[in-house]
């Protein structure tokens, strides 16, 4: 690892501390280094508040202040160039007299998108880019997918038996998961902006789609129910979360509605019966500003995401001690590689994470 990578690694550690607090903004970390000594550290802590660079520079002790212009600032994401909820970080760096900036990766957000780096260079600052670029991109993969591909980052999740079944012979529920995996699933839910299920799953399993076993934010519940078959007595409607029902009959979301909404409740989003489903769902997710969606079933919906090459990551919980024999087969994965396997309890529950391009270890 080069010295630049070492300090960028520190930026990434700091950035991760903003997890769960800053979405839909990216997680960003920054360090200020004078003569191989860190004199300042900061990260984007809370959505709408100070950016990483601001916190980093503010953290410098009074006795080190005079060292700032001769220090190098490291940032895991390009410093911003725009007036958003806070003034541009590029301006702050310039006003501090800092002469060298090391950037992890470019910010794809259209108000920035290279303009921060350009602003710094125009001010005569030396800017080095692309240090641990893949890692910096990975930590904000939801934000990047949303801004560059104009769709949410899609994660699929299911639980299966040792012989690859997700339901029993007559579609009956199998007790595949346990307390460990239930809590893990609730954590996964809290990390995404939306959770999607199809009608049959909602009818047969009657899931709450809540994350009550974890302390993170509750994502928007997304129900695919083209013919509005699910009764409002279903469990997923019973708490005060926001639900969006994708259907072919009615639309109650005002144009321009974006998440997070001020008011919770149940909203209807109308889709076309004739257009392909998955692109419509991805477009709706983008329009509603959902940067990520966790799809929890059923098998048919999951398979449609896989077949249309629209899934970015797959999480599978496997109960290696349970064999179903007859039953509903788990979706068939194509073009994915397992990048992580973890044992969930001492005997039989394991979980696997699959991705398309596993270029470095999974950390989440
Ligand atoms: C940075 N450093 O720590 C972060 C940046 O609404 P605002 O003002 O908070 O701006 C949000 C945008 O700023 C966000 O979409 C992303 O492009 C950038 N985030 N930039 O220089 C940071 N969090
Ligand atoms: Zn900024």
Residue nearest to atom 4 of ligand 1 (CA): 51
Please report the pLDDT score of residue 344 as a whole number: 77
Which residues, 6 or more positions from 256, have their beta carbon under 8 angstroms from its beta carbon? Answer: none
* Complex confidence, ipTM: 0.94
Angle (nearest 5°) at CA 308 between 301 and 153 = 80
Cα–Cα distance for residue pair 113/92, rounded to 1 Å: 18
Q: Is 159 annotated as a binding residue?
A: yes
For 30, the token pair is: 């920054």
Please report the pLDDT score of residue 364 as a whole number: 45
Please report the pLDDT score of residue 41 as a whole number: 98
Q: Is 236 annotated as a binding residue?
A: no
33, 60 Cβ separation under 8 angstroms? no
In short, whether 25's Cβ falls inside 6 Å of ligand 1 is: yes
Please report the pLDDT score of residue 192 as a whole number: 94
Query: Given its phi and psi angles, is residue 132 left (phi above 0), alpha (psi -120 to 50 degrees) or beta?
Result: left
Please report the pLDDT score of residue 293 as a whole number: 98
Cα–Cα distance for residue pair 41/2, rounded to 1 Å: 19
Of 301, 300, 306, nearest to 334 by C-alpha is 306
Please report the pLDDT score of residue 10 as a whole number: 98
Of 158, 192, 152, nearest to 177 by C-alpha is 158
For 268, the token pair is: 């209807």
Please report the pLDDT score of residue 354 as a whole number: 86
Please report the pLDDT score of residue 358 as a whole number: 57
Helix (H, G, I), strand (E, B) or coil at 102: strand
3-145: what fold?
Cytidine Deaminase; domain 2 (3.40.140)
89, 80 Cβ separation under 8 angstroms? yes
Q: What is the CATH number of domain 151-354?
A: 3.40.430.10
pLDDT along the chain (364 residues), means of 10: 96 94 94 98 96 98 98 98 95 98 96 97 98 94 95 96 90 83 91 95 92 89 97 95 96 85 88 98 96 95 96 94 91 86 78 73 49
Q: Which residues have C-beta under 5 Å from ligand 2, the single-atom ion?
A: 51, 80, 89
Cβ atoms within 10 Å of 212's Cβ, excluding its own: 10
In short, whether 49's Cβ falls inside 6 Å of ligand 1 is: no
Same fold, 3-145 and 151-354: no
Domain coordinates in residue numbering, the chain: 3-145, 151-354
């Amino acid at each position: 690892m080069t010295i630049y990578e070492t300090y960028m690694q520190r930026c990434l550690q700091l950035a991760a501390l903003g997890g769960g607090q800053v979405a839909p903004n990216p997680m960003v970390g920054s360090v200020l280094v004078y003569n191989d000594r860190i004199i300042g550290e900061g990260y984007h802590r809370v959505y709408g508040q100070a950016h990483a660079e601001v916190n980093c520079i503010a953290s410098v002790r009074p006795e080190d202040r005079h060292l700032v212009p001769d220090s190098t600032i490291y940032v895991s994401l390009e410093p911003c160039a725009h007036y958003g909820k806070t003034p541009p970080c590029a301006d702050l760096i310039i006003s501090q007299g800092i002469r060298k900036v090391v950037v992890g990766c470019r910010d794809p957000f259209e108000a920035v998108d290279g303009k921060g780096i350009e602003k710094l260079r125009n001010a005569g600052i030396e800017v080095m880019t692309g240090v641990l670029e893949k890692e910096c991109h990975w930590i904000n993969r939801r934000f990047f997918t949303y801004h560059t591909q104009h769709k949410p980052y899609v994660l699929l999740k299911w639980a299966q038996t040792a012989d690859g079944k997700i339901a029993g012979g007559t579609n009956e529920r199998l007790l595949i998961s346990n307390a460990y995996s239930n809590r893990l699933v609730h954590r996964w839910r809290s990390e995404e902006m939306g959770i999607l299920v199809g009608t049959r799953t909602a009818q047969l399993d009657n899931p709450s789609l809540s994350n009550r076993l974890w302390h993170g934010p509750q994502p928007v519940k997304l129900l695919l129910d083209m013919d509005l078959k699910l009764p409002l007595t279903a469990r997923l409607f019973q708490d005060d979360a926001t639900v969006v029902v994708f259907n072919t009959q009615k639309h109650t979301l005002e144009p321009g509605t974006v998440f997070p909404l001020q008011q919770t409740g149940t909203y209807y989003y109308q889709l076309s019966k004739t257009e392909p489903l998955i692109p419509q769902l991805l477009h709706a997710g983008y329009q509603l500003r959902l940067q990520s969606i966790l799809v929890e079933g059923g098998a048919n919906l999951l398979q449609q995401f896989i077949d249309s090459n629209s899934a970015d990551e797959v999480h599978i919980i496997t109960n290696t001690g349970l064999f179903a024999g007859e039953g509903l087969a788990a979706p068939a994965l194509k073009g994915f590689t397992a990048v992580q396997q973890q044992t969930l309890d001492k005997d039989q529950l394991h979980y696997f994470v699959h991705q398309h391009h596993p270029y470095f270890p999974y950390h989440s």
